[in-house]
Structure 1
Amino acid sequence: MSDAHSPATSVTSTPQVHWRQRLGEWVESSTVERFVIAVILINAVVLGMETSPALMDAFGGVLIGIDAACLAIFVLEIGLKLVAFGWRFFRNPWNVFDFIVVGIALVPAGAGFEVLRTLRVLRVLRLISALPQLRKVVSALLHAVPGILSTGALLALIFYVASVMATTFFRETLPEFFGSFGASLFSLFQIATLSSWETIVRPAMDEHPWAWAFFIPFIILAAFTALNLIIAVIVDAMNTLHDMPSATVVASSDDEHDDATAAESRNGVDSGAGAAAGAGAGAKAGAADDHHLLYQEIKQLRADVAELSSQLRGADRRS
């Protein structure tokens, strides 16, 4: 019964598999990807021009129309991917990212949603998912997060110890910079960034000539050592993922497509198993011949050694 029904199933499912698969391949083709990248760049320029009151007064209607057209193209692209891939669309994190970014732009511009509407500029970030090299950079940063957190914990420990010491040392003489733990933490952060650090350190040295012995080791540890460790972690992650292939979305559809693919895979496995069995039989026959020849050579070598040994013993007896 199953054999009688299987041809009908394959006949009805094959057209759906074909058009959905072709749609997925077309949406992810290089031509469509280049077109989407061009639309993203145009949308980025338009969003920047909309911040100019003069341009909005002169070309406001045109800019708003172009912005709406770009958004419609993004929605159409994601809709086609959803039709082609089904729920498997959400298995790719980059697809989820694009879906959220475009979805934010569709939030109505009513009361209380003005802030969300301003987030439509996030559509420009779709360049990250559209360009493979940018995806590699983001992947490297994500892989570097554990190392960055460890280095950040070390840096936080250094700041905590230094803030307590600075508050104890300079609270009485420099209350505007080190009057409390929070003030000391902010002042030390400014020193670590080397932003006008002399406006804090020199007054401290005027009051405490030995203050250099505190600030110089702190600057070396916080500004140079710890921050360079973070950079080293990121560079190491970049080197690790340098040869990583670009992330791609596997074109797949619904359960019918999965069944057809599984059937084709089974057929391919069966034919491949037959070919492998034939190749294995030939390999075994060749291996048997090689073993037989090696056995004959070893047997002949043993006979030659035995004959040579008998000749040597006979020569010893004659001598």
Structure 2
Amino acid sequence: MQEALLAQDLAPTLRARVARLVTSTRFQQIVTGLILLNAVTLGLETSASVMEAYGPLLEVTDSALLWLFSAELALRIFAFRGRFFRDPWGIFDLLVIGIAWAPSGGDLAVLRSLRVLRVLRLLSVVPSLRHVVEAMLAALPGMGSIVLLMGLMFYVSGVMATKLFGESLPERFGTLGNSVFTLFQLMTLEGWVEDIVKPAMEHHPGALLFFIPFIVISTFVVLNLFLGVIVESIQTLRESRESADAEAAQAATDAAASAAHADSQMLMSEVRELRKEIAALRGERS
């Protein structure tokens, strides 16, 4: 019974120590270094010559790193318990490590290639990368209207291109699907002159009147709208973090001031009591 009570008393203390350990800067730097080392080993495994010379060593290193990542994850779960599973980044790390432990033989051999997902743990370990990902996720609702606008533009332009160039360039614009795919290639500016515009102009000299406005709108306007939404999201998150930090600092200052005021009031009360006692002793002597 006493041993059980002692274990209950020691558990919170041990959990607090583990929490301080896994959140310390040195520990995070070590985890980051291990992730980078794992990225290098996974890249080297793609080389046949390297695997022939150092294959067993790389496999042992990969297994050791997986065990270390699993131990680090277990420490975090022990330290934070339920809070770990309420953290999206904790769930992300758990899924990545869980996929790495999945069997990779037989029909599941494709899962072996998913080991490289462990490198993505840098997103949860490096604060700057985590902030960028959070900003991108926060920007998704704002991108909905832009995606709808782009889809509408591709549909209208695809129908027009099919009607204008379908007969002369059936491989590029023969169907609506082909036209949309060609327009997507046109938006990326990949071989747009030699593969798309020049063949179209051989049959339709005024084709530039269609292609140039499409390129300007899709490539230089719509894509910049995406960038603008993401930049605004990053700025908004930064301002919210700075505001939260300022409020936390102000709350800490107010708490310290309140504690100091309470201490001063208690000290003044004790001084008054002492004065009353001194006055009472003087009255008894007289």
User: TM bucket by the smaller chain?
Assistant: 0.7 to 0.9
Distance 1:95 1:167, change over 3 A: same
Computed over aligned residues only, the root mean square deviation of the Cα atoms, in angstroms, reads 2.6
> For residues 95-149 of structure 1, what are the alpha-carbon distances to aligned partners after superposition, in whole Å with 9 as ceiling and x for unaligned?
1111110111111222121111210111011111111000111011111111222
1:141 paired with 2:141, answer: no
> Contact 2:158–2:179 (CA<8 Å) still a contact in 1?
yes
1:46 paired with 2:57, answer: no
Structure 2 residue aligned with 1:216? 212
> Contact 2:200–2:207 (CA<8 Å) still a contact in 1?
yes
AA aligned to 1:77 is E
Q: Matched residues in 2 for 1:22 and 1:230: separation? A: 44
Map 1:160-309; keep pairs closer than 5 Å: 160-198=155-193, 199-243=195-239, 245=241, 275=262
Structure 2 residue aligned with 1:60? 55
> For residues 201-242 of structure 1, what are the alpha-carbon distances to aligned partners after superposition, in whole Å with 9 as ceiling and x for unaligned?
122222122222222221111111111111111121122223
Q: Which one has a bigger Cα radius of gyration? A: 1
> Contact 1:46–1:63 (CA<8 Å) still a contact in 2?
yes
AA aligned to 2:216 is I
3-state SS, counterpart of residue 109 of structure 1: coil
Which of the numbers 59, 77, 88 marks the counterpart of 2:83?
88
AA aligned to 1:191 is L
Q: Percent identity?
A: 47
Residues paired across the two proteins, number? 247
Instruction: Give the drift of 1:186.
Output: 0.9
Q: Structure 2 length normalisation: TM-score?
A: 0.80
AA aligned to 1:21 is A
Instruction: Give the drift of 1:15.
Output: 2.8
Which of the numbers 96, 100, 104 marks the counterpart of 1:109?
104
Unaligned runs of 5+ residues in structure 2 are: 243-254, 267-286
1:70 paired with 2:65, answer: yes
Q: Which has the higher contact order (CA 8 A, sep 6+)?
A: 1
Q: Matched residues in 2 for 1:67 and 1:160: separation? A: 48
AA aligned to 2:209 is A
Q: Matched residues in 1 for 2:132 and 2:41: separation? A: 26
Q: Matched residues in 2 for 1:72 and 1:186: separation? A: 45
Structure 2 residue aligned with 1:315? none
Unaligned runs of 5+ residues in structure 1 are: 1-9, 247-267, 280-319
> For residues 236-283 of structure 1, what are the alpha-carbon distances to aligned partners after superposition, in whole Å with 9 as ceiling and x for unaligned?
11222235659xxxxxxxxxxxxxxxxxxxxx9xx97x949x69xxxx
Q: Matched residues in 2 for 1:157 and 1:137: separation? A: 29
Instruction: Give the drift of 1:13.
Output: 4.7
Q: Structure 1 length normalisation: TM-score?
A: 0.72
Instruction: Give the drift of 1:65.
Output: 0.9
Structure 1 residue aligned with 2:29? 34
The structure carrying a bigger helix percent of its residues is 2
